[in-house]
Amino acid sequence: MAVETTTAKTAMTATAAARGSAFLRVSIGLQTLTLFFQAVSAGLLLSTSYGETLHAVGARVTYGATMLYVIAAVLAWKPGGGSPRPILYSTGFLVLSSVQVVLGIAHVPALHVPLGVAMFGLTVLDLGRVLATTASSRA
């Protein structure tokens, strides 16, 4: 009876870890896509009349995706039994996104644009890390 209970708990833990890992991959992928959209809409901001609207809406979606990444990192760690390191990364992205919002509202493109480029580079690196970790755990 105790062996069955242990096996069931192990299976439940493995399922929770797989769900947490999948949610983490989806959330970092979404964040990466939204940051790419922000780069595109920044170009449109300079060349079209509707670019400002797209960039403003994209900023809100990007901020929401970054918050979703924080939630996914916590869920992958605590109930899923994963590493707490993604919490640090996701929280850093949330801080950088907050700085981006402030710089964008204050119309400081000299800092806003380079920080946006750095954020996109960092999120691509983080996505690669998450996908490589997933691939190595499957092998």
Among candidates 83, 62, 80, which has minimal Cα distance to 22?
80
Residue 107 maps to a domain = yes
Is residue 90 in a domain? yes
- Is 89 inside any structural domain? yes
Return the closest-CA partner of residue 130 out of 71, 79, 86.
86
Q: What pLDDT does 15 receive? A: 60
Residue 117 CA to residue 124 CA, distance in Å, equals 11
In a domain, 139, yes or no: no
What pLDDT digit, counting tens, does each position of 113-126 carry?
999 999 999 999 99
Number of domain units in the chain: 1
Please give the distance of CA 34 from its chain centroid, rounded to a whole number. 9
Domain housing 18: 2-134
Contact residues for 49 (Cβ-Cβ < 8 A; gap 6+): none
**Which tokens go with 2?**
């105790």
| 49-70 mean pLDDT | 96
46 in any annotated domain: yes
Q: What is the pLDDT of residues 2-39, one digit of tens each?
A: 556 655 555 455 565 666 689 999 999 999 999 999 99
Residue 69 lies in a domain: yes
pLDDT digits (tens, 9 = 90+) for 125-137: 999 998 898 777 6
pLDDT tens digits for 85-114? 999 999 999 999 999 999 999 999 999 999
